[in-house]
């Protein structure tokens, strides 16, 4: 395709991207060096916003929580998703029914799902979890204690997003060469050897894809935290997104400071995604 033709066909998409991506990014970058209260023009303050945020314990707590939950979610989604995909792959009947049921949690809007999920753990609304735990003499304050609240956010995210991982990895298992697996079986390999030398390498791209999407989803976690633990900063479940929302729109409309947090979050996201991007790059080079 000629370059002129390419641009003739793609200029609307480029224009939309420029309007919705490049312009806001540029504004965010400029505002990060200004004090910008809502309704008033920004005043240049150099690196003051960066000094304030990088010296702020709340920012580091939010960053630590976000990175921690992102890594945990990625590991759990890939491992549990793969385990369930393996079981599905072996099943003779009911695969589509089971997939359909699984996908129900994925299509439920996050806010609705988070509210319903949190009610399972809320004694006021008759949540059954603590009633069941009480049989074993266990009482957990899910909504006010830090680690239980963090576990709750993690469990909801897993419940909501695991079906996507299962679907992708199940699709990947379908693409494996059956003859190779049969040959390996005839050669006397055991289950673990087949996994290690044939199946897992064959699914490498799928794992990379699932890991990449999981990481990106987890880094922007917001809705479920706002619903399950509205007092996130106090409970210890404040993510970078809920933190920036508080600064920009709730605390005192400090758009300059919020822009700084956004830029630092972008940087952090890029750093965390480097391994996945490198893997995808290597993969695309080897196949081209």
Partner 1 sequence: MFSLSRHHPSPTRSRSRAASALGTGLVLILLTGCGAGSKAGTSGTEAVACPIDQPTEAATVNILAYNSAATDPFTDTLVASCKSETLTLNHPPTDLTGQKQRATQSLSASDSSYDLIEQFGTVYSLYADRGWTVPLDAYMDDYSKKFNLGGIDKSLLAAHSYDGQQYGLPTYWSVNQLVYRKDIFDQLNLTPPTTFDEMREVAKTIQDSGLAEHPLAIPMAPTNDIQGLFGQTIRSLGGDYFVKDEPVPALNTPEGVEAIDSLKSLLPFMSPQVLSFSSPEVTTQLATGQAVMGLLVTGRLGPLVDKTKTSYADDFAFATPPSVKAGGKPLSFLSVDGFAVAKNSKVDPKLLFQLAAVATGEEASKSALPDALPARLDLIDPQTVPFAAGALEVLSSAKPLPLTQVPYMADVYSVLGAPIGDAVSGKMPTQQALDQAQIKAEEAIANAGYAK
Q: Contact residues for partner 1 (CB under 8 A)?
A: 37-40, 122-126, 139, 141-144, 168, 171-172, 174-175, 205-206, 209, 229-231, 233-235, 246, 249-254
Residue 12 CB neighbour total at 10 angstroms: 8
Beta carbons within 8 Å of 220's beta carbon, 6+ residues apart: 241
Smallest gap from Cβ 31 to partner 1, in A, equals 15
CA dihedral 148, 152, 158, 159 (to 10 degrees): 140
Shorter beta-carbon distance to partner 1: residue 182 or 271: 182
Smallest gap from Cβ 164 to partner 1, in A, equals 14
Shorter beta-carbon distance to partner 1: residue 64 or 230: 230
Q: Are 133 and 141 in contact (CB under 8 A)?
A: no
Smallest gap from Cβ 124 to partner 1, in A, equals 5
Smallest gap from Cβ 2 to partner 1, in A, equals 27
Shorter beta-carbon distance to partner 1: residue 193 or 284: 284
Cβ burial of 199 (10 Å; 0-12, 13-18, 19+) is: buried
Shorter beta-carbon distance to partner 1: residue 171 or 271: 171
Q: Are 149 and 143 in contact (CB under 8 A)?
A: yes
How many residues belong to the chain?
A: 288
């Amino acid at each position: 395709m000629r370059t002129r033709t390419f641009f003739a066909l793609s200029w609307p998409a480029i224009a939309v991207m420029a309007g919705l991506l490049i312009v806001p990014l540029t504004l965010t970058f400029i505002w990060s060096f200004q004090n910008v209260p809502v309704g008033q023009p920004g005043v240049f303050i150099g690196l003051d916003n960066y000094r304030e945020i990088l010296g702020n314990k709340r920012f580091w707590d939010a960053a630590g929580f976000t990175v921690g939950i992102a890594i945990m979610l990625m590991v759990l989604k890939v491992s549990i998703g793969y385990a369930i995909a393996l079981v599905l792959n072996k099943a003779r009947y009911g695969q589509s029914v089971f997939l359909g049921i699984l996908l129900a949690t994925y299509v439920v809007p996050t806010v609705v799902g988070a509210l319903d999920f949190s009610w399972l753990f809320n004694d006021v609304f008759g949540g059954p979890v603590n009633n069941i735990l009480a049989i074993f003499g266990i009482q957990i304050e899910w909504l006010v204690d830090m680690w239980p609240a963090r576990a709750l956010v993690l469990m909801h995210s897993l419940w909501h997003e695991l079906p996507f991982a299962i679907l992708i990895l199940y699709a990947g298992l379908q693409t494996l060469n059956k003859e190779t697996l049969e040959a390996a079986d005839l050669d006397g390999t055991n289950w673990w050897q087949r996994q290690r030398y044939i199946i897992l390498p064959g699914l490498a791209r799928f794992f990379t894809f699932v890991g990449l999407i999981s990481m990106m989803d987890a880094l922007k976690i917001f809705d479920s935290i706002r619903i399950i633990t509205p007092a996130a900063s106090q409970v210890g479940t404040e993510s970078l997104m809920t933190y920036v929302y508080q600064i920009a729109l709730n605390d005192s409309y400090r758009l300059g400071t919020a822009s700084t947090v956004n830029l630092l979050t972008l940087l952090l996201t890029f750093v965390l995604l480097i391994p996945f991007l490198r893997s995808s790059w290597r993969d695309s080079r080897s196949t081209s």
